[in-house]
Amino acid sequence: MLYYFFEWLQKLEIPGSRLFQYISFRAAAALILSLLITMIFGKRVIRYLEKKQIGETVRSLGLAGEDQKSGTPTMGGVIIIAAILIPVLLVCKLHNIYILLLIFATLWLGILGFWDDYIKVFKKDKGGISGKKKLIGQIILGLIVGVVLCFHPEVVIKEKTNNTHNVMIDKDHALAFANEDQGYTPFSNSEAQQSTKTTIPFVKNNEFDYAWFSRIFGDTEGKWTFLFMIPIIIFIIAAVSNGANLTDGLDGLAAGTSAVIAVGIAILTYVSGNTIFADYLNIMYIPNISEVVVYTSALMGACIGFYWYNCYPAQIFMGDTGSLTLGGIIAVLCIIIRKELLIPILCGIFLIQSLSVIIQVSYFKYTKKKYGEGKRVFLMSPIHHHYQKKGMHEAKIVQRFIIVGILLVVITLATLKVR
Residue 304 and residue 311 in contact, taking contact as beta carbons nearer than 8 Å: no
Q: What is the largest CA-CA distance in the chain?
A: 80
**Alpha-helical regions (H) of 93-178:** 97-122, 131-151, 171-178
Residue-by-residue pLDDT tens, the chain, 419 positions: 777 776 777 777 787 777 778 899 999 999 999 999 999 999 999 999 888 888 776 666 667 666 677 778 999 999 999 999 999 999 999 999 999 999 999 999 999 999 999 998 888 888 889 989 999 999 999 999 999 999 999 999 987 555 444 333 333 334 444 444 443 344 444 567 888 999 998 887 778 899 999 999 888 888 899 999 999 999 999 999 999 999 998 999 999 999 999 999 999 999 999 989 998 888 889 999 999 999 999 999 999 999 999 999 999 999 999 999 999 999 999 999 999 999 999 999 999 999 999 999 999 999 999 998 999 999 999 999 999 999 999 999 999 999 999 999 999 999 998 87
Element (H, E) at 199: strand 197-199
3-state secondary structure of 333: helix
Nearest CA among 70, 90, 81 for reference residue 45: 81
pLDDT score recorded for residue 336: 96
Q: What span, in angstroms and rounded, lies between the C-alpha atoms of 56 and 127? A: 13
Element containing residue 209 per DSSP (H, E): strand 207-209
Sign of CA dihedral 16, 21, 24, 30: positive
Cis peptide before 382 (omega within 30 of 0): yes
Give the pLDDT score at 375.
93
